[in-house]
Chains A and B, each alone.
Chain A
Amino acid sequence: MTLLEVEDLHTHFISRDLDNKICIAKALNGVSFSLEAGRILGIVGETGAGKSLTAQSVVGLLRPPAKIVAGSIRFEGRELTDMPDAELNRIRGNEIAMVVQNPRTSLDPLTRVGEQLARLHQIHSGGPKMASHKRALEMMEAVGLPDPGTRAKSWPHELSGGMAQRVLLAMALMNSPKLLIADEPTTGLDVTVQAQILDLLRSLVARFDMATLIITHDLGVVAHFCDDIAVMFGGSIVETGPVRDVFAAPAHPYTRNLIAATPERFQMGGAKALGGQPPDLYNLPSGCVLQSRCAYATELCQTTVPNTEVAEGHFALCHYAGRLEEQPAVKINA
């Protein structure tokens, strides 16, 4: 059975403007993906594409005005979208764990590190305190924190960025989650530390057979640490598939531009064709969200876009997926 299955998820920001008229920002528009145990899925996209919102929707951490308006999220077959909070709380931090971007602000500054870890275990296990503390030390060791005994007694402010991120990872692992969601786990860390953390993450995924969702804007992380990639734009997953296939033969024009903008592929003089404004979420066009900045856009793109399978397991949300080459590219001014 698929561990996590997200189907046609729509999350909107519903608010009222100055005239008390209802404004709806369509932040997620029909996001679907699934994740099996032991797989690492990387979600990439630019600011405002809906990456973090997808993660927050899955773990039920949305706050008003954000609201799931349609779609389903199934974790081991259980529907999460209409689950009562008390039941959801038994799953969150237990079977589904999350590592967030900013390690320093995610730790309680007034509680010693070991205590924070043990507390999380206590809530879910309800067993003896000693066992929780022992587990905390084990996990700190598992994430490569030197001398866990003394580290457990340190305060969050005494940790460096890399160590704080390790502590958060240890915290996520406390209850042996089946699904780990990491939102920008290495952004803001140095490359050598990033390498340590990612290596660690991958070995932990293998050791505990976790399904992992990594949200990042760094294509390098996806290219070398993920099995599958999902590219988001304007609240939709525009392309998804095995990492190697997508990088070798991107089928969606947006993915092509994204990959072309990486330092490895970027050609000086070509930036104008790559950029453009993100779509206005309050006023999305009908059909393809990319049409205003896509060089291949035609009238056909104003109609509902099919999710085309271009190769096995490799999908692109584009009318011309798989046959972009036949389509004349019109230069447009961004």
Chain B
Amino acid sequence: MTQPVLKIRNLSKRFPVGGGRVVHAVNCVDLSIMPGETLGMVGESGSGKSTLGRVILRLLEPSDGSIEFDGQDITQLPKGQVRRLRRDMQMVFQDPWSALNPRMRIRDLIAEPIKLHVGLSRSERDDRTEDLARRVNLGPTYLNRYPANLSGGQLQRACIARAIATDPKLIVLDEPTSSLDLSVRAGILELLAEIREETKAAMLFISHDLGTVRMISDRIAVLYLGEVVEQGQTEALFENPAHPYTQALLSAHLPADPAIKVSRLVLEGEVPSPFALPTGCKFHTRCPVAIDRCTREVPQAIQVPSGQEALCLRIPDGGNIIQRKEDE
């Protein structure tokens, strides 16, 4: 049996913000990613998606729980050793404009991770850099330019080249396409799919764009207030969302096709403050099917017939499905 590349258990991240107040950004998350698998992570802003991605790479220190990477517990690993581990875990950020040093040429930017982690001779490194640039469809003329002379899509390609330079086992992609135009976005997604085929790298794809996530992910985890409220195979989750929040989130997505009917479940109110999390089920303040018990009891993950796991107290009695009003 293959080992998961990444296994996190009971992971929490809290930020103290002075005055004794604490932001509960990530709360008791269990996740695992198998080699070659793409896990899509969706959630609204403030749901802890990016924080979780960063804690996994130890760019932020976890407050609680454990992170196992490639069979090794890295939760307590000293900084120096984590740095060596980064060869195997890379990240692509949302905003390619600010992710690259504006004073370095694209050539040096792509060569940087090779220099740090692989240590080839200069000519080998140059060859590898050009290979990588070709791999991400960045013409050789761009290598001598500075980031300011490239478009957003081209910059994101350079970021991806950097991320795959060291043949990592896990790539965390934090909203890699959300600042790009549609046609450019399509090209980047295609590139990621090809790279996944070729390198068998596992990917954690963080995004709030449901259409994109559905296209690229094998499995999906839905985050709400720092908690994975539902996770499972992409199609199962999209076809039969079990958690009321997932149902509302999916229904709020507007497919770019007027022929697809949408019957939307509009949630009341806004996401509660992560300073003072609701008691019991964290979603009960906005949940249309919440009952009294939800305000007191913390739900445990339950597997539903379609295969995915969800955190909802009403699954056993079948009350977790929100009744829809047809509109239009």
Chain A residues within 8 Å of B, Cβ to Cβ: 46-47, 160-163, 190-196, 199, 217-225, 243-244, 247-248, 257-259, 261-266, 268-272, 274-277
Contact = CB atoms under 8 A, between A and B. Distances in A.
Given A190-B44, A247-B257, A275 B266 contact: no
B290 interface: no
9 contacts: A191-B208, A191-B252, A194-B252, A195-B266, A223-B258, A268-B215, A271-B187, A275-B184, A275-B186
B212 A263 contact: yes
Contacts of B319: none
Nearest to A46: B181
Nearest to B251: A195
B214 A247 contact: no
B208 A190 contact: yes
B255 A264 contact: yes
Given A263-B214, A266-B215, A275 B267 contact: no
A71 to B, nearest CB: 26
B262 interface: yes
B60 interface: no
A80 B181 CA distance: 32
Contacts of B248: 192
A259 B182 CA distance: 9
A263 B181 contact: no
Interface of B: 44-45, 151-153, 181-187, 189-190, 193, 208-212, 214-215, 248-249, 252-260, 262, 264, 266-267, 270-271
Contact of A261 (B45, B152, B185, B249): B185
A47 B153 CA distance: 12
A162 B270 contact: yes
Contact of B260 (A195, A261, A264, A274): A264
A262 B266 contact: no
A194 B258 CA distance: 17
B181 A47 contact: yes
Given A192-B249, A264-B255, 8 more contacts: A47-B181, A190-B271, A192-B252, A220-B254, A225-B254, A247-B257, A259-B257, A277-B151
Contacts of B184: 46, 275
A248 B259 contact: yes
A271 B183 contact: yes
Given A199-B266, A268-B193, A220 B186 contact: no
A150 to B, nearest CB: 16
B249 A219 contact: no
A203 to B, nearest CB: 12
**Highest count of chain A CB atoms <10 Å: which of B186, B208, B215:** B186
A163 B212 CA distance: 27
A43 to B, nearest CB: 15
Interface residues of A: mostly helix, strand, loop or mixed?
Answer: helix
A220 B252 contact: no
B183 A223 contact: no
Given A219-B256, A247-B259, A257 B183 contact: yes
Given A258-B183, A264-B257, A271 B252 contact: no
A46 B187 CA distance: 15
A221 B258 CA distance: 10
A261 B186 contact: yes
Contacts of A271: 183, 186-187, 189-190
Nearest to B47: A190
A191 B210 contact: yes
B250 to A, nearest CB: 9
A275 B183 contact: yes
Contacts of B267: 192, 196
A266 B257 contact: no
Contact of A195 (B182, B252, B259): B252
Nearest to A242: B258
A178 B184 CA distance: 37
A166 to B, nearest CB: 11
A224 B262 CA distance: 8
B212 to A, nearest CB: 6
A161 B271 CA distance: 11
Contacts of B209: 263
Nearest to B327: A199
A217 B182 contact: yes
B268 to A, nearest CB: 9
Contact of A220 (B181, B253, B270, B271): B253
A223 B266 CA distance: 18
**Highest count of chain A CB atoms <10 Å: which of B44, B248, B258:** B258
B190 A193 contact: no
A57 B87 CA distance: 51
Contacts of A225: 254
Contact of B270 (A160, A195, A243, A264): A160
Contacts of A46: 181-184
A220 B270 CA distance: 22
Contacts of B259: 244, 247-248
A265 B209 CA distance: 15
A332 B271 CA distance: 47
Closest 4 CB pairs of A and B: A263-B211, A220-B254, A219-B256, A190-B44
A244 B189 contact: no
Contacts of A217: 181-182
Nearest to B214: A263
Contact of B256 (A161, A191, A193, A263): A263
B258 A191 contact: no
